[in-house]
Chain A
Amino acid sequence: MTTASTGVSRSPAAPRRALRRREAVAAYGFLTPSGLGFLAFTLGPILGSLAISFFHWPVIGGRSWAGLTNFLTILTEDPIFWRAVRNTLIFVVLYMPLNFLLALGLALWISPQIRGRGLYRLLFFLPAVTPIVANALVWRLLVQPNGLFAEVATWFGIEDLNPLGSGAGAMAVVVAMSLWQGFGYNMLVFSAGLDSIPEQLYEAASLDGANVLHRFARITLPMLSPSIFFATVMTLITSFQVFAQPYVLTAGGPGVATTTMVMYLYQRGFQLFDLGTASAVATSLFVIIAAITAVQFTGQRRWVHYE
């Protein structure tokens, strides 16, 4: 430290200012690697995404200003875009509540009375970390017309089960596989939330004569609400991104019955090589996600209890 000597002659504010300047220099130094990458690979592309949707932009060849043409195309002419939006919404509407039900149910079930809770949690979480493509491939094998699921269905008197053959069946498989793969995250989030609820709250409520349902509604849910809020925000964002499951399981079919927005974005951009329109799809997806997230954040005051 060399500032001590300079502090004698100048006013007392000067060394502090010098210190602060050195601190700022250090800070900018620390931020440079992350910041440059952030500009180039995170912020830049986000802004770029919006810009590209206003251009005719083929993968190879000239690009030109398109104005709102790309948006008008997908919103008014393109029959698949709205199907993809609808499919994505159907997926989200089915996936979200079931995910929460499973996650909360198992988080409660794997209570302190269960021996080896850590192992149970880990195994229910496992599909969330194994490659999603590998997961989807196993499911694809299971749901083949002569696969394991079809065999199990015959035990219940259902012959010739072929879920991928119909639109509703294919969507059900995509949802089921996604639940199997993904609910473990929220289960762990809820488990951590449950474990942090002080035991004496329940004890006190029991003394006051509250039954199980009362305790769940009056203690568990309010105490868990920050976790639930957080999980809702994150799960919604991720469920709108669904891609690999339909890509591997159904290829978006039969027809376009399981073509989601991200799948359509991929097809439009990298199979039809139309990056401008694909970007318009991406922008639409982002607008939907941003709007829903904003609604969630404004609505949270009504039901989320922070201590």
Chain B
Amino acid sequence: MSEISTALSRGRSGATRRVAGGRAPHQGSRARAVLSQILLTVVLVIFLMPFIWMLATAVKPGNEVFSSPPSFFGSRIRWQNFIDAWTYVPFDRFMINGAIVSVLGTVLVCATSVLAAYAFARLTFRGKGPLFALYLVTLLVPQEVVVIPMFILMQELGWQNSYQALILPWAFTAFGTFLLRQFFLTIPRELEEAARVDGASRLRTLLTIVVPVARPAIGVLAVFTFINYWNSFLWPLIIISTQEMATVPIGLNSFLGQQGNQWHLLMAASALSMVPTALIVILLQRHLVRGIALSGMGGR
């Protein structure tokens, strides 16, 4: 018993020591920690080299992209590349399309998932078990397996090359419902019961009591859904046939074929295409890390 409590208190004091960032017990282990941090930073810089090279190429004059030997900086920094990339292809169109599809898709996914997840987490009804099992099973079916029937469905509906074809097919997967249901189950029922006794309807209870508490989980779902829509490639490649309807990845891909490869413009466009999702992840990092721990699968 006493051993356990010593171990516990040691563990705790060890933790505080680290949080405070104070001195480690031995000089040797401290030096090792510093060395470890330096090495890790070197690895990180090498790891980020593709991004760094992308940015470096994005501001080089076009004829210096393949200078020999490759140099990090061109003869001058050419910011004009970003503007050229923007106009070389209708890049604004790609960004607007991407934003429309991603935002609408995210709103739709979150709204339908919240409602369904609440029913599965809190309400009793006939067929609940089998229906939930059915939802779960479809989680294991990858998108790639269903693109052909989905394409045929769009053909039948006459929806090829449209926003609804980009949004609706992936707005009703079981992932959101599953993720939010798991979270709703952890919310104490007492919170809602007070509102119910006061005569609030189920929908009102859900919107005023449950949703605010579940904001972190809904936020995680929203971010991953947005990223998935923004980055999606195979499906838009299949269903989109004009530049006017292209999303960002499709636009980048179409760039590649045009009159030789304008790598400096392509890299400028690639860098621009990364801004929205990278920004979201950087701004919301803490929630995301927890969300991945929670679900481990969003965004894949």
Contact = CB atoms under 8 A, between A and B. Distances in A.
A184 to B, nearest CB: 9
Contacts of A134: 249, 252, 270-271, 273-274
A172 interface: no
A289 B153 CA distance: 24
A127 B4 CA distance: 43
Given A114-B40, A137-B266, A122 B282 contact: yes
Contacts of B14: 199, 203
A82 interface: no
Contact of A248 (B10, B115, B253): B253
Contacts of B146: 42, 45-46, 48-49, 282
Contacts of A241: 142-144
A220 interface: no
Contact of B115 (A34, A122, A141, A230): A34
A33 B125 CA distance: 17
A207 B7 CA distance: 9
Interface in B157-191: 168-174, 177
A299 to B, nearest CB: 16
Interface size class of B (residues with CB under 8 A): 35 or more
Nearest to A204: B7
A240 B228 CA distance: 18
Contacts of A1: 199
Contacts of B227: 129
Nearest to A188: B292
A302 to B, nearest CB: 21
A257 B15 CA distance: 51
A98 B168 CA distance: 36
B145 A282 contact: yes
Contact of A118 (B21, B65, B285, B293): B285
B250 to A, nearest CB: 8
B150 interface: yes
A135 interface: yes
A275 B148 contact: yes
Interface string A241-278: 10110011000000000000010011001100001001
Contacts of B107: none
Contact of B153 (A45, A137, A265, A286): A45
A144 interface: yes
B150 A41 contact: yes
- Which among B141, B169, B206 has the greatest number of chain A C-beta atoms within 10 A? B141
A44 B152 CA distance: 12
Given A23-B124, A189-B293, A240-B142, A135 B50 contact: yes
A51 B99 CA distance: 35
Interface in B108-149: 111-113, 115-116, 118-119, 123-126, 128, 131, 134-135, 138, 140-149
Contacts of B172: 34, 37-38, 40-42
Given A118-B286, A134-B274, A289-B142, A144 B66 contact: yes
A178 B29 CA distance: 35
Interface string B258-300: 0000010011001101100110111001100110110011011
Given A109-B40, A286-B141, A138 B289 contact: no
15 contacts: A26-B123, A27-B119, A41-B172, A49-B149, A130-B273, A134-B274, A142-B50, A199-B12, A203-B7, A265-B148, A269-B147, A270-B151, A270-B237, A285-B142, A286-B142
Interface of A: 1, 20, 23-24, 26-28, 30-31, 33-35, 37-38, 40-46, 48-49, 51-52, 57, 59, 109-115, 118, 120-135, 137-139, 141-142, 144, 146-148, 151, 180, 182, 185, 188-189, 191-193, 198-200, 203-204, 207, 227, 230-231, 234, 237-238, 240-241, 243-244, 247-248, 262, 265-266, 269-270, 275, 278-279, 282-283, 285-286, 289-290, 293
